[in-house]
Structure 1
Amino acid sequence: MSKTFTPAEVASHKTPDQGLYIIVDNSVFDVTKFVDEHPGGAKILKRVAGKDASKQFWKYHNESVLKKYSPKLKIGEVKDAAKL
């Protein structure tokens, strides 16, 4: 079962000690153990940790990258905010 996170919960995971979580299209990914493997370097992942990185992700990646790494890194979804 997939866990749901609030944006605030994701935001609290922005250091290696707390875990590095990012959001891409409402999916939450734990990139803590992936930072050293990231072809673009650890620096960019640390910079977007705790945030919605969708814009940055899609600027440099395509759908196949998401499909390849989702099974390993996806830990849940962002809760939908109340919609009126």
Structure 2
Amino acid sequence: MTKKKHLYEVDLMRCFFMFGVVLNHVASTFAAALGNKATPAGRFLVSIHLILHFPRFGFMFITGLVLFLGYWGRPEKQNWPVF
């Protein structure tokens, strides 16, 4: 069996999603420290916090992609009930 090519795009997506997680935590920390969320700054931070929930879905996608690509073309390992 030949060795599979490394996908650098997946590494780039991982970095992108990790950066999104850090930004989400920063936004939620600032929103919690602000206290009053009825101000324009509070609404802005809450909306940024909601927008930055994309890494959660991205990590699920990357996990499925890596598992799929890891098992692709390996007939000796395609024991789906055991998987």
Normalising by structure 1, we get a TM-score of: 0.25
More contact order relative to length (CA 8 Å, sep ≥ 6): 1
Which of the pair has more CA radius of gyration? 2
Given the two structures, how large is their TM-score scaled by the length of structure 2?
0.25
Q: Which has the higher helix share?
A: 2
